[in-house]
Amino acid sequence: MAYLKPPWFVTNVFNKIAMATGMSGSETLTLIGRGSGAEQQIPVISVDVGDARYLVSTRGESQWVKNLRANPVVTLNTRTVTERFKAVEIPVDQRDPVLAAYRVKAGKQVDGYFAKLPHSADHPVFRLTPV
């Protein structure tokens, strides 16, 4: 599966600012590393479609996607709320409505990822169920 590795600045500077400030509607996803067992935190933008909440990997087969598949119970933090979820990956043929809603919510900042990874199969999508 495809993957767009983030540049050093994004990983080491921008992501920390996004998680601290909630910029662009970002939330902090906390999950457990599949090999290390250590907590990993990354900024994400969740999207609601119908009665469900979803996470989308704009960069494709990222480390957080692999960790989420191995350990699907996560927390999602906003500036005011911390919620715990179980994540279940949805099949490729069900991703289009979620990806469309995500692109509207996230805006132009994600257009480049979808230009480089244009297929639904390139973007893992997870449905979040409260636990």
What is the reported pTM?
Answer: 0.90
Indicate the pLDDT class of residue 11, thresholds 50, 70 and 90. confident
What b/e readout covers 117-130, taking b as 16+ CB neighbours within 10 angstroms? Answer: beebebbbbbbbee
Q: Topology of domain 8-130, per CATH? A: Pnp Oxidase; Chain A (2.30.110)
For 36-81, what is each residue's pLDDT tens digit?
999 999 999 999 999 999 999 999 999 999 999 999 999 999 878 9
Percent of the chain that is helix, strand, coil (3-state, to 5): 40, 30, 30
Q: How is the chain split into domains, by residue range?
A: 8-130
Q: What is the mean pLDDT of the chain?
A: 90
**d(Cα 87, Cα 89) in Å, to the nearest integer?**
7
**d(Cα 73, Cα 87) in Å, to the nearest integer?**
6
Whether 114 has a pLDDT exceeding 70, the answer reads yes
**d(Cα 96, Cα 22) in Å, to the nearest integer?**
26
